[in-house]
Amino acid sequence: MFLVLATGVLVEGVYAVPACDSRIAIDNPARHPFNTVATIRYDKDCIHSLKAYGTGALVGPHMLLTAGHVVYNRGEGKKNQTCNYIQPAAYLDEASGDIIYPYGERTISDTKYKKTNNKYVDQSYSSVADVDYGAIHIVCPFEDINTYMPMVFDYRSGFVNMSGYPIEDLPDSTRGGEQWRVSGNVTSTFDRRMVYDARSTGGASGAPVWEFQSGSQTRRLIAVNRGHSSQCNGLGPRLVWQNEGLINTWLDWQPTLSEKVAQGCAKLQTLPITWSGLLTAYKKNPRLKLFKPKQLRLVKRPRNIRNNTKANFRVYQYIQYQKFVWEEFLTNSKKPKSTRYIRLIKPVKKWLNVRESQILLSASATWVEQKPSGKYQKKGPVGKLVPIPMPKETKRLRNDKKKDNSIDMDFDESRKPQLKEKQRRVIKRL
């Protein structure tokens, strides 16, 4: 029997810290990449009476990636209609007992800013663990954060890191409300989900799961934490080709001018960097960290490579408010860490030489704001520490009219109309 528990399920009884619980509380999360990890707190009355806890990862100025059950109540068949408070890098001030929000916070109340996919809301879809991912759109960016962890799709790793805001069954119960990090081996990788030896408990729903390569300080976000399958495991949906198009659409979302005005967004002091601007920055400033080609596993692109050659991975990352998209081609497709060459897709499309690839990957790893300015810092009471609940997955809706029709299509479904007639007939037979 393989028991799956959501990170939002409260288990009553006496708790003893298992020997395999290696979670560590972060004293100063206001540094990359922990500054992009945020609490998601609930308040049904929108009066800042903070209660339920969840986690999300900022992957762009206007997008927080999280678990589907954080934004959508599957048991009731609708998006949650409470106010959500987004608070990056929150930590506990032991002297005052308050929670400090070094980058400030954002309040999300309108359900149109809460996103999940059509498979997760489908009551007949049984493999919910595969598709329990969602997003929250943020109109006003956090001014002191301009670079985020890159997302890579269909990437397989043997060892992962995770950081989030669990508030249940902690190794130190006095540090509830703080960010906790953990790492562990990947024990199972399926088509759309993975299981890892990284402890997950209530409140860590939506925490980012990433691989870290110490030689080049490369981080790649590859999954979203959803729950746990045993005492010390975590599990979550992977970023894969089926959800790549949908998540990229969420990442592209931009607020309108009227939305910015209505929410009183501050004018950004730092403009989005251009590709030429990034190259110039490294040319003029020798102090910028530039990793060696060997550290980055870079080689020269083969002359006979064709433009329609399929890449092994596609990477999405915001660097100084600019969206960069690039493809990586492995010289040995069976070895994820073999040497590689790169084609940039956005903001310009071109094959990169080794020097240009050096700059892109170095910026990807180190082009970050290390400290908040303090200008936007806030603090508040701890409030009631309760994990975001996971709805029961066996309940069927009696009235289909209750279903939310604003849910986005999962990519593998949205591409079916583009298939040739012969392919459609095959799908129908299956």
Give 10-residue mean pLDDT values along the chain (430 residues).
Answer: 38 53 91 94 84 92 96 88 93 89 94 94 89 97 94 94 93 90 94 93 94 90 90 91 95 96 88 96 93 95 88 95 96 89 97 97 90 90 77 40 59 44 33
Residue 317 lies in a domain: yes
H or E element: which one contains 258? helix 257-263
Q: Based on the fold, state whether residues 199 and 323 are members of the same structural domain.
A: no
CA-based torsion, 429, 119, 256, 273: positive or negative: negative
From 146, 106, 425, 400, select the one nearest 278 (Cα to Cα).
Answer: 146
Confidence at residue 419, expressed as pLDDT on a 0 to 100 scale: 37
pTM confidence score: 0.88
Q: Based on the fold, state whether residues 307 and 203 are members of the same structural domain.
A: no
Q: Based on the fold, state whether residues 287 and 179 are members of the same structural domain.
A: no
H or E element: which one contains 243? helix 241-252
Q: Based on the fold, state whether residues 201 and 276 are members of the same structural domain.
A: no
Decide: 147 and 217 in contact? Cβ < 8 Å: no
The residue type at 304: N
Distance CA 172, CA 74 (A): 32
Confidence at residue 402, expressed as pLDDT on a 0 to 100 scale: 43
Q: Based on the fold, state whether residues 325 and 249 are members of the same structural domain.
A: no
Q: How many domains does the chain have?
A: 2
Q: What is the domain range of residue 172? A: 17-253+373-387
Q: What are phi and psi of 141, to 5 degrees?
A: -65, 160
Question: Tell me, what DSSP letter sits at residue 144?
Answer: T
Confidence at residue 150, expressed as pLDDT on a 0 to 100 scale: 97
Confidence at residue 411, expressed as pLDDT on a 0 to 100 scale: 57
Confidence at residue 385, expressed as pLDDT on a 0 to 100 scale: 82
Q: Based on the fold, state whether residues 213 and 89 are members of the same structural domain.
A: yes
Confidence at residue 133, expressed as pLDDT on a 0 to 100 scale: 97
Average pLDDT over the chain, rounded to an integer: 85
Distance CA 94, CA 339 (A): 47
What's the CATH number where 235 sits?
A: 2.40.10.120
Distance CA 11, CA 202 (A): 9
Residue 11 lies in a domain: no
Q: What value does the CA radius of gyration of the chain take, rounded to a whole number of Å?
A: 21
Q: Based on the fold, state whether residues 333 and 217 are members of the same structural domain.
A: no
Confidence at residue 135, expressed as pLDDT on a 0 to 100 scale: 97
Task: List the alpha helices (DSSP H) in 87-218.
Answer: 118-121
Question: Tokens 């390569």 label which residue?
Answer: 213
Q: Based on the fold, state whether residues 291 and 228 are members of the same structural domain.
A: no
Confidence at residue 361, expressed as pLDDT on a 0 to 100 scale: 97
Confidence at residue 49, expressed as pLDDT on a 0 to 100 scale: 80
Residue 330 lies in a domain: yes
Q: Based on the fold, state whether residues 50 and 159 are members of the same structural domain.
A: yes
The C-alpha angle with vertex 387 and arms to 240 and 115, in degrees rounded to 5, equals 40
Residue 409 lies in a domain: no
Q: Based on the fold, state whether residues 377 and 314 are members of the same structural domain.
A: no
The C-alpha angle with vertex 182 and arms to 176 and 186, in degrees rounded to 5, equals 140
Residue 149 lies in a domain: yes
Distance CA 148, CA 278 (A): 16
Decide: 5 and 234 in contact? Cβ < 8 Å: no
Confidence at residue 7, expressed as pLDDT on a 0 to 100 scale: 46
Q: Based on the fold, state whether residues 142 and 228 are members of the same structural domain.
A: yes
Distance CA 238, CA 107 (A): 28
Residues 6+ apart with CB under 8 A from 127: 192
The C-alpha angle with vertex 198 and arms to 192 and 204, in degrees rounded to 5, equals 80
Residue 382 lies in a domain: yes
Confidence at residue 234, expressed as pLDDT on a 0 to 100 scale: 92
From 345, 341, 339, select the one nearest 357 (Cα to Cα).
Answer: 341
H or E element: which one contains 421? helix 421-429
Confidence at residue 60, expressed as pLDDT on a 0 to 100 scale: 97
Q: Based on the fold, state whether residues 124 and 149 are members of the same structural domain.
A: yes
